[in-house]
Amino acid sequence: MEKVRFGVIGIGNMGSEHARNLFAGKVEDGVLSAVCDIRAERLAWAKEMFPDAHLFSNASEMLRSGEIDAAIVAVPHYQHPSLVIEGLSRKIHMMCEKPAGVYGKHVREMNEAAREAEKEGIVFGIMFNQRTNSLFIKMKEMVQGDELGQIKRNSWLITNWYRSQHYYDSGDWRATWAGEGGGVLLNQCPHNLDLWQWICGMPSSVTAFCHEGKWHNIEVEDDVTAYTEYEDGSTGVFVTTTADAPGDNRFEISGDKGKLVYEDSKLTFWKLDIAEREFNRTSAKAFGAPSWKKIEIETDGSNPQHAGVLNAFCAKILGKGELVASGLEGLNGLLISNAMHLSSWLGKTIHLPFDDDLFYEELQRKVSGSKTKKTAAAASIEDMNSTYNS
Protein backbone atom coordinates (compact mmCIF):
# COMPACT_ATOMS: atom_id res chain seq x y z
CA MET A 1 0.00 0.00 0.00
CA GLU A 2 1.11 3.57 -0.64
CA LYS A 3 -0.81 5.10 2.25
CA VAL A 4 -2.51 3.58 5.27
CA ARG A 5 -6.29 3.98 5.20
CA PHE A 6 -7.50 4.77 8.72
CA GLY A 7 -10.83 4.27 10.41
CA VAL A 8 -11.53 6.01 13.72
CA ILE A 9 -13.78 4.14 16.15
CA GLY A 10 -15.42 6.70 18.41
CA ILE A 11 -15.45 10.35 17.43
CA GLY A 12 -15.84 11.97 20.80
CA ASN A 13 -13.20 14.28 22.24
CA MET A 14 -10.06 12.33 21.37
CA GLY A 15 -11.33 10.47 18.34
CA SER A 16 -12.32 13.78 16.75
CA GLU A 17 -8.77 15.05 17.21
CA HIS A 18 -7.33 11.97 15.49
CA ALA A 19 -9.79 12.34 12.62
CA ARG A 20 -8.91 16.03 12.22
CA ASN A 21 -5.17 15.27 12.21
CA LEU A 22 -5.60 12.64 9.51
CA PHE A 23 -7.93 14.81 7.44
CA ALA A 24 -5.52 17.75 7.70
CA GLY A 25 -2.64 15.68 6.33
CA LYS A 26 -0.60 15.71 9.56
CA VAL A 27 0.04 11.98 9.14
CA GLU A 28 2.25 11.77 6.09
CA ASP A 29 1.59 8.15 5.19
CA GLY A 30 -2.00 7.97 6.39
CA VAL A 31 -5.44 9.09 5.18
CA LEU A 32 -8.82 9.23 6.89
CA SER A 33 -11.01 6.66 5.18
CA ALA A 34 -13.80 6.00 7.69
CA VAL A 35 -15.30 7.03 11.00
CA CYS A 36 -17.56 5.11 13.34
CA ASP A 37 -19.79 6.22 16.20
CA ILE A 38 -23.00 4.89 17.71
CA ARG A 39 -24.38 8.44 18.04
CA ALA A 40 -26.24 9.79 15.03
CA GLU A 41 -25.36 13.39 15.87
CA ARG A 42 -21.63 12.61 15.80
CA LEU A 43 -21.95 10.91 12.42
CA ALA A 44 -23.83 13.94 11.12
CA TRP A 45 -20.96 16.13 12.33
CA ALA A 46 -18.43 13.80 10.69
CA LYS A 47 -20.32 13.84 7.39
CA GLU A 48 -20.02 17.62 7.33
CA MET A 49 -16.38 17.73 8.49
CA PHE A 50 -15.04 14.78 6.46
CA PRO A 51 -17.25 14.50 3.37
CA ASP A 52 -15.18 11.75 1.72
CA ALA A 53 -15.05 9.46 4.75
CA HIS A 54 -17.18 6.35 4.95
CA LEU A 55 -19.59 6.49 7.90
CA PHE A 56 -20.42 3.55 10.16
CA SER A 57 -22.59 3.20 13.26
CA ASN A 58 -21.19 -0.24 14.07
CA ALA A 59 -17.50 -0.95 14.67
CA SER A 60 -17.68 -4.55 13.45
CA GLU A 61 -19.12 -3.38 10.15
CA MET A 62 -16.29 -0.91 9.68
CA LEU A 63 -13.64 -3.50 10.58
CA ARG A 64 -14.93 -5.94 7.96
CA SER A 65 -15.81 -3.33 5.34
CA GLY A 66 -12.57 -3.49 3.38
CA GLU A 67 -12.38 0.32 3.50
CA ILE A 68 -9.61 0.51 6.10
CA ASP A 69 -6.14 -0.88 6.71
CA ALA A 70 -5.83 0.40 10.28
CA ALA A 71 -8.16 1.54 13.05
CA ILE A 72 -7.84 3.88 16.01
CA VAL A 73 -9.85 2.83 19.07
CA ALA A 74 -11.09 5.92 20.92
CA VAL A 75 -14.11 4.70 22.88
CA PRO A 76 -14.78 4.19 26.63
CA HIS A 77 -12.02 2.22 28.34
CA TYR A 78 -13.74 -1.12 28.93
CA GLN A 79 -14.19 -1.58 25.18
CA HIS A 80 -10.54 -1.09 24.20
CA PRO A 81 -9.31 -4.71 24.43
CA SER A 82 -12.41 -6.25 22.80
CA LEU A 83 -12.27 -3.93 19.79
CA VAL A 84 -8.51 -4.36 19.40
CA ILE A 85 -8.87 -8.14 19.52
CA GLU A 86 -11.65 -8.04 16.90
CA GLY A 87 -9.64 -5.78 14.62
CA LEU A 88 -6.51 -7.90 14.88
CA SER A 89 -8.54 -11.02 14.07
CA ARG A 90 -9.60 -9.30 10.83
CA LYS A 91 -5.97 -8.44 10.05
CA ILE A 92 -6.50 -4.75 10.68
CA HIS A 93 -3.56 -2.83 12.16
CA MET A 94 -4.75 -1.43 15.50
CA MET A 95 -3.89 1.74 17.42
CA CYS A 96 -5.39 1.86 20.91
CA GLU A 97 -6.02 5.05 22.86
CA LYS A 98 -4.89 5.06 26.47
CA PRO A 99 -5.48 3.26 28.74
CA ALA A 100 -4.96 -0.20 27.28
CA GLY A 101 -8.03 -1.31 29.24
CA VAL A 102 -9.46 -1.25 32.73
CA TYR A 103 -8.10 -4.46 34.25
CA GLY A 104 -4.98 -6.47 33.62
CA LYS A 105 -6.69 -9.77 32.87
CA HIS A 106 -8.48 -8.32 29.82
CA VAL A 107 -5.36 -6.54 28.57
CA ARG A 108 -3.32 -9.74 28.82
CA GLU A 109 -5.89 -11.41 26.52
CA MET A 110 -5.50 -8.51 24.08
CA ASN A 111 -1.71 -8.76 24.20
CA GLU A 112 -1.81 -12.49 23.49
CA ALA A 113 -3.98 -11.84 20.43
CA ALA A 114 -1.50 -9.15 19.34
CA ARG A 115 1.45 -11.51 19.64
CA GLU A 116 -0.31 -13.97 17.35
CA ALA A 117 -1.26 -11.23 14.87
CA GLU A 118 2.29 -9.93 14.85
CA LYS A 119 3.40 -13.24 13.33
CA GLU A 120 1.36 -12.26 10.26
CA GLY A 121 2.74 -8.74 10.11
CA ILE A 122 -0.18 -7.03 11.85
CA VAL A 123 0.91 -3.99 13.90
CA PHE A 124 -0.45 -3.06 17.33
CA GLY A 125 0.38 0.31 18.87
CA ILE A 126 -0.81 2.41 21.78
CA MET A 127 -1.28 6.18 21.87
CA PHE A 128 1.43 7.09 24.38
CA ASN A 129 2.01 10.46 22.77
CA GLN A 130 4.00 11.82 25.72
CA ARG A 131 6.84 9.50 24.73
CA THR A 132 7.42 11.79 21.73
CA ASN A 133 8.40 14.68 24.02
CA SER A 134 12.16 15.22 23.67
CA LEU A 135 12.41 16.14 27.37
CA PHE A 136 11.09 12.78 28.54
CA ILE A 137 13.22 10.98 25.95
CA LYS A 138 16.26 12.78 27.39
CA MET A 139 15.26 11.87 30.96
CA LYS A 140 15.14 8.22 29.98
CA GLU A 141 18.54 8.44 28.27
CA MET A 142 20.14 10.09 31.29
CA VAL A 143 18.67 7.72 33.88
CA GLN A 144 19.39 4.56 31.92
CA GLY A 145 22.76 5.92 30.78
CA ASP A 146 23.90 6.09 34.43
CA GLU A 147 24.34 9.88 34.42
CA LEU A 148 22.49 10.00 37.77
CA GLY A 149 24.30 6.97 39.11
CA GLN A 150 22.52 4.80 41.66
CA ILE A 151 18.87 5.92 41.76
CA LYS A 152 17.63 6.64 45.29
CA ARG A 153 14.14 8.02 44.83
CA ASN A 154 11.73 9.58 42.39
CA SER A 155 8.67 11.73 42.89
CA TRP A 156 6.01 12.95 40.51
CA LEU A 157 3.61 15.66 41.62
CA ILE A 158 1.13 15.84 38.77
CA THR A 159 -1.80 18.00 39.85
CA ASN A 160 -2.40 20.17 36.78
CA TRP A 161 -5.13 17.86 35.51
CA TYR A 162 -7.86 20.23 36.71
CA ARG A 163 -11.37 19.16 35.73
CA SER A 164 -14.65 20.88 36.63
CA GLN A 165 -17.89 19.14 37.51
CA HIS A 166 -19.09 20.00 33.99
CA TYR A 167 -16.32 17.81 32.57
CA TYR A 168 -17.49 14.85 34.61
CA ASP A 169 -21.09 15.52 33.62
CA SER A 170 -20.18 15.66 29.91
CA GLY A 171 -20.67 11.93 29.38
CA ASP A 172 -22.93 9.41 31.10
CA TRP A 173 -20.05 6.91 31.22
CA ARG A 174 -17.54 9.29 32.78
CA ALA A 175 -16.38 8.91 36.38
CA THR A 176 -18.40 5.75 37.03
CA TRP A 177 -17.04 2.32 37.88
CA ALA A 178 -19.37 0.67 35.37
CA GLY A 179 -18.71 3.11 32.53
CA GLU A 180 -15.09 4.18 32.95
CA GLY A 181 -13.57 1.82 35.51
CA GLY A 182 -11.64 4.50 37.39
CA GLY A 183 -10.95 8.19 37.74
CA VAL A 184 -7.80 10.28 37.53
CA LEU A 185 -5.54 7.21 37.44
CA LEU A 186 -7.34 5.63 34.52
CA ASN A 187 -8.34 8.71 32.55
CA GLN A 188 -5.76 11.47 33.00
CA CYS A 189 -2.68 9.65 34.35
CA PRO A 190 -2.03 6.71 32.00
CA HIS A 191 0.54 8.89 30.21
CA ASN A 192 2.29 9.75 33.46
CA LEU A 193 2.20 6.17 34.75
CA ASP A 194 3.61 4.98 31.44
CA LEU A 195 6.42 7.55 31.45
CA TRP A 196 7.11 6.81 35.13
CA GLN A 197 7.74 3.10 34.47
CA TRP A 198 9.36 3.77 31.07
CA ILE A 199 12.00 5.94 32.75
CA CYS A 200 12.26 4.49 36.28
CA GLY A 201 11.16 0.89 35.77
CA MET A 202 8.33 -1.10 37.30
CA PRO A 203 7.94 -0.96 41.09
CA SER A 204 8.02 -4.09 43.23
CA SER A 205 5.39 -2.82 45.68
CA VAL A 206 2.73 -0.12 45.85
CA THR A 207 0.95 1.47 48.81
CA ALA A 208 -1.73 3.95 47.82
CA PHE A 209 -4.57 6.08 49.09
CA CYS A 210 -7.22 6.75 46.44
CA HIS A 211 -9.89 9.18 47.60
CA GLU A 212 -13.13 8.65 45.70
CA GLY A 213 -15.33 11.65 44.98
CA LYS A 214 -13.35 13.81 47.39
CA TRP A 215 -13.60 17.02 45.35
CA HIS A 216 -16.31 16.23 42.78
CA ASN A 217 -19.69 14.55 42.71
CA ILE A 218 -18.33 11.32 41.19
CA GLU A 219 -17.93 7.64 42.15
CA VAL A 220 -14.28 7.25 41.30
CA GLU A 221 -10.97 8.62 42.61
CA ASP A 222 -10.07 12.27 42.08
CA ASP A 223 -7.21 12.49 44.60
CA VAL A 224 -4.36 9.96 44.93
CA THR A 225 -1.13 9.64 46.92
CA ALA A 226 1.01 6.53 46.35
CA TYR A 227 4.34 5.23 47.65
CA THR A 228 6.36 2.69 45.68
CA GLU A 229 9.46 0.57 46.27
CA TYR A 230 11.75 -0.95 43.63
CA GLU A 231 13.95 -4.02 43.48
CA ASP A 232 17.10 -1.85 43.40
CA GLY A 233 16.19 -0.29 46.77
CA SER A 234 14.95 3.03 45.40
CA THR A 235 11.57 4.48 46.33
CA GLY A 236 8.97 6.64 44.64
CA VAL A 237 6.02 8.89 45.37
CA PHE A 238 3.19 9.68 42.96
CA VAL A 239 0.63 12.38 43.80
CA THR A 240 -2.23 13.42 41.53
CA THR A 241 -5.64 15.07 41.57
CA THR A 242 -8.11 16.78 39.26
CA ALA A 243 -9.02 19.45 41.81
CA ASP A 244 -5.93 21.65 42.36
CA ALA A 245 -5.79 25.11 40.80
CA PRO A 246 -3.18 26.09 39.95
CA GLY A 247 -1.73 22.63 39.73
CA ASP A 248 1.86 21.45 39.42
CA ASN A 249 3.77 19.08 37.17
CA ARG A 250 7.14 18.28 38.74
CA PHE A 251 8.96 15.00 38.09
CA GLU A 252 12.17 14.62 40.10
CA ILE A 253 14.65 11.75 40.09
CA SER A 254 17.52 11.67 42.62
CA GLY A 255 20.64 9.57 42.30
CA ASP A 256 24.02 9.47 43.96
CA LYS A 257 25.48 11.59 41.13
CA GLY A 258 22.83 14.33 41.31
CA LYS A 259 19.17 15.05 40.67
CA LEU A 260 17.14 15.58 37.51
CA VAL A 261 13.94 17.66 37.48
CA TYR A 262 11.28 18.10 34.82
CA GLU A 263 9.14 21.18 35.52
CA ASP A 264 7.65 24.06 33.53
CA SER A 265 8.55 22.22 30.29
CA LYS A 266 12.25 22.39 31.21
CA LEU A 267 14.79 19.81 32.27
CA THR A 268 17.38 20.72 34.91
CA PHE A 269 20.27 18.60 36.21
CA TRP A 270 22.08 19.27 39.46
CA LYS A 271 25.31 17.37 38.82
CA LEU A 272 27.45 16.52 41.84
CA ASP A 273 31.20 17.05 41.53
CA ILE A 274 31.70 13.83 43.49
CA ALA A 275 29.16 11.05 43.86
CA GLU A 276 27.30 11.23 47.18
CA ARG A 277 28.17 7.65 48.15
CA GLU A 278 31.87 8.34 47.64
CA PHE A 279 31.62 11.68 49.46
CA ASN A 280 29.85 9.94 52.33
CA ARG A 281 32.70 7.47 52.71
CA THR A 282 35.59 9.91 52.35
CA SER A 283 34.46 13.28 53.75
CA ALA A 284 36.05 14.52 56.98
CA LYS A 285 33.30 17.13 57.43
CA ALA A 286 30.35 16.56 59.75
CA PHE A 287 28.01 18.96 57.96
CA GLY A 288 29.48 19.35 54.50
CA ALA A 289 27.83 18.17 51.30
CA PRO A 290 29.10 17.50 47.77
CA SER A 291 29.41 20.57 45.57
CA TRP A 292 27.37 20.65 42.38
CA LYS A 293 26.74 22.41 39.10
CA LYS A 294 23.26 23.35 37.88
CA ILE A 295 22.87 22.46 34.22
CA GLU A 296 19.92 23.34 31.98
CA ILE A 297 19.56 20.32 29.72
CA GLU A 298 18.98 21.13 26.08
CA THR A 299 17.15 18.92 23.60
CA ASP A 300 16.11 19.35 19.99
CA GLY A 301 12.73 20.60 21.23
CA SER A 302 10.72 18.05 19.29
CA ASN A 303 7.31 17.04 20.65
CA PRO A 304 5.09 15.80 17.80
CA GLN A 305 2.48 14.25 20.13
CA HIS A 306 -0.45 12.34 18.57
CA ALA A 307 0.53 12.98 14.96
CA GLY A 308 4.02 11.75 15.80
CA VAL A 309 2.65 8.49 17.17
CA LEU A 310 0.50 7.96 14.07
CA ASN A 311 3.38 8.79 11.72
CA ALA A 312 5.52 6.18 13.46
CA PHE A 313 2.61 3.70 13.35
CA CYS A 314 2.32 4.16 9.59
CA ALA A 315 6.07 3.80 9.18
CA LYS A 316 5.97 0.48 11.04
CA ILE A 317 3.08 -0.79 8.91
CA LEU A 318 4.90 0.21 5.71
CA GLY A 319 8.17 -1.35 6.88
CA LYS A 320 10.21 1.82 7.18
CA GLY A 321 10.28 2.64 10.89
CA GLU A 322 9.42 1.66 14.45
CA LEU A 323 6.56 2.38 16.83
CA VAL A 324 6.69 5.04 19.52
CA ALA A 325 5.14 2.43 21.82
CA SER A 326 4.12 -1.15 21.16
CA GLY A 327 0.58 -1.85 22.25
CA LEU A 328 1.95 -4.61 24.46
CA GLU A 329 3.51 -1.94 26.68
CA GLY A 330 0.12 -0.59 27.69
CA LEU A 331 -0.08 -3.31 30.34
CA ASN A 332 2.74 -1.87 32.48
CA GLY A 333 1.22 1.44 33.48
CA LEU A 334 -2.21 -0.18 33.87
CA LEU A 335 -0.80 -2.68 36.36
CA ILE A 336 0.56 0.20 38.45
CA SER A 337 -2.88 1.83 38.33
CA ASN A 338 -4.56 -1.46 39.25
CA ALA A 339 -2.12 -1.95 42.12
CA MET A 340 -2.88 1.55 43.45
CA HIS A 341 -6.60 0.89 43.38
CA LEU A 342 -6.22 -2.53 44.97
CA SER A 343 -3.96 -1.18 47.71
CA SER A 344 -6.48 1.52 48.57
CA TRP A 345 -9.47 -0.81 48.46
CA LEU A 346 -7.83 -3.45 50.66
CA GLY A 347 -5.92 -1.04 52.88
CA LYS A 348 -2.55 -2.76 52.42
CA THR A 349 0.65 -2.80 50.38
CA ILE A 350 0.39 -4.64 47.05
CA HIS A 351 3.41 -6.55 45.80
CA LEU A 352 3.91 -6.92 42.05
CA PRO A 353 3.07 -9.18 40.37
CA PHE A 354 -0.34 -9.49 42.04
CA ASP A 355 -3.41 -11.63 41.41
CA ASP A 356 -5.31 -10.32 38.36
CA ASP A 357 -8.38 -12.26 39.47
CA LEU A 358 -8.35 -10.59 42.88
CA PHE A 359 -8.29 -7.15 41.27
CA TYR A 360 -11.11 -8.11 38.93
CA GLU A 361 -13.24 -9.39 41.82
CA GLU A 362 -12.72 -6.17 43.78
CA LEU A 363 -13.47 -4.07 40.70
CA GLN A 364 -16.75 -5.93 40.24
CA ARG A 365 -17.72 -4.98 43.79
CA LYS A 366 -17.34 -1.36 42.75
CA VAL A 367 -19.18 -1.91 39.48
CA SER A 368 -22.10 -3.57 41.28
CA GLY A 369 -22.72 -0.36 43.21
CA SER A 370 -22.20 1.93 40.24
CA LYS A 371 -25.00 4.28 39.26
CA THR A 372 -25.84 5.19 35.68
CA LYS A 373 -25.77 8.93 35.02
CA LYS A 374 -28.24 10.76 32.84
CA THR A 375 -27.02 14.14 31.72
CA ALA A 376 -28.04 16.61 29.06
CA ALA A 377 -24.33 17.20 28.39
CA ALA A 378 -23.70 13.59 27.38
CA ALA A 379 -22.84 14.45 23.78
CA SER A 380 -20.58 17.39 24.66
CA ILE A 381 -17.36 17.51 22.66
CA GLU A 382 -14.49 19.66 23.93
CA ASP A 383 -11.31 21.12 22.42
CA MET A 384 -8.48 18.79 23.52
CA ASN A 385 -5.52 20.93 22.43
CA SER A 386 -4.70 22.25 25.92
CA THR A 387 -5.12 18.98 27.82
CA TYR A 388 -1.90 17.10 27.09
CA ASN A 389 0.15 18.36 30.07
CA SER A 390 3.38 18.40 28.11
Say whether both 166 and 113 belong to one domain: no
pLDDT attached to residue 1: 83
pLDDT attached to residue 383: 53
Identity of the amino acid at 296 = E
Q: Which residues of the chain have pLDDT under 50?
A: 376-379, 386, 389-390
Contact 83, 90 (CB under 8 A): no
- Flag whether 375 is in a domain: no
pLDDT attached to residue 69: 98
Angle at alpha carbon of residue 25, lines to 308 and 44, rounded to 5°: 110
DSSP 360: H
Identity of the amino acid at 301 = G
Say whether both 143 and 76 belong to one domain: no
Q: Tell me the backbone φ, ψ of residue 210, rounded to 5 degrees.
A: -110, 110
Q: Which helix (H) or strand (E) holds 250?
A: strand 249-255
Say whether both 285 and 141 belong to one domain: yes
Residue 59 Cα to chain centre, angstroms? 23
Angle at alpha carbon of residue 102, lines to 97 and 108, rounded to 5°: 85
- Flag whether 211 is in a domain: yes
Tell me the Cα Rg of the chain.
22
The pLDDT mean for the chain works out to 95
Say whether both 204 and 340 belong to one domain: yes
Q: Give me the CATH number covering residue 286.
A: 3.30.360.10
- Flag whether 98 is in a domain: yes
Contacting residues for 112 by C-beta, under 8 A, at least 6 apart? none
By residue range, what is the domain housing residue 50?
Answer: 4-130+304-326
The total of other beta-carbon atoms located within 10 Å of residue 153's CB is 17
The pTM is what? 0.95
Q: What percent of the chain has pLDDT over 90?
A: 93
- Flag whether 380 is in a domain: no
pLDDT attached to residue 390: 44
Say whether both 251 and 102 belong to one domain: no
Angle at alpha carbon of residue 192, lines to 190 and 197, rounded to 5°: 95
pLDDT attached to residue 382: 57
Encode pLDDT of 252-272 as tens digits.
Answer: 999 999 999 999 999 999 999
pLDDT attached to residue 171: 85
Secondary structure (H, E, C), 317-333:
HCCCCCCCCEHHHHHHH
Query: How many domains, the chain?
Result: 2
Q: Give me the CATH number covering residue 38.
A: 3.40.50.720
Q: Tell me the backbone φ, ψ of residue 8, rounded to 5 degrees.
A: -110, 120
Task: Give me the residues paired with residue 127 across strands.
Answer: none
- Flag whether 70 is in a domain: yes
Encode pLDDT of 63-103 as tens digits.
Answer: 999 999 999 999 999 999 999 999 999 999 999 999 999 99
pLDDT attached to residue 378: 43
